[in-house]
């Protein structure tokens, strides 16, 4: 894997420049400095756990199935759908 952006600490000290090839030693050193995420070249691998839209929507409604008569929860279901559907 190759870095697509430089890696810097919170106080802007650059640890690795862009286009550096990552190896285990570099990853360990960055972990010690509190780096949790880096940008790498390439395309993301498709999420193996990604669910089809219909399944995700059915699961959302199922979570509310036992409280759909509660007025606050009815509103909350509508709000949750508005928030989640564009992200599904």
Partner 1 sequence: MSLPLPTIASRVMTFCPVSFPRTIAKLQGLLNNQNATASVITQLLVTDPLLCAGVLGQANALKPCLSAAHAISSLGLEAVQGILRATEPVPEDRRQLLSTWCDEANATGLMVRILVRYLRGRRRIFALQNLDDESLHLLGLLHNLGHAVAIVSFPEQYRVATAAHTLSSEPFRQQVKDALGLAPGDLGYMLCRQWRLPEMISLTNRFVNHPYEIEDSEAATAAAVVHVSRTLVRALGLVAGHDRHLDPIEDQALGLLNLRSGECEALMVQFLDAWDDQEDYEPGGGAL
Which residue number, 14 or 67, has a Cβ lying nearer to partner 1? 67
The 3-state secondary structure of 36-78, one letter per residue: CCCCECCCCCCCCCCCCHHHHHHHHHHHCHHHCCCHHHHHHHH
Which residue number, 19 or 61, has a Cβ lying nearer to partner 1? 61
Is 43 an interacting residue with respect to partner 1 (CB under 8 A)?
no
Q: Which residues bind partner 1 (CB under 8 A)?
A: 28, 31-34, 36-37, 49, 56, 59-60, 62-67, 70, 72-73, 75-77, 79-80, 82-84, 87
């Amino acid at each position: 894997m190759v870095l697509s952006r430089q890696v810097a600490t919170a106080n802007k000290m650059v640890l690795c420049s862009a286009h550096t090839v990552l190896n285990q030693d570099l990853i360990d050193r960055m972990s010690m400095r509190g780096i949790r995420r880096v940008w790498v070249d390439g395309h993301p691998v498709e999420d193996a756990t990604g669910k089809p839209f219909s399944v995700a929507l059915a699961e959302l409604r199922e979570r509310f199935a036992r409280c759909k008569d509660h007025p606050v929860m009815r509103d909350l279901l509508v709000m949750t759908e508005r928030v989640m559907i564009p992200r599904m």
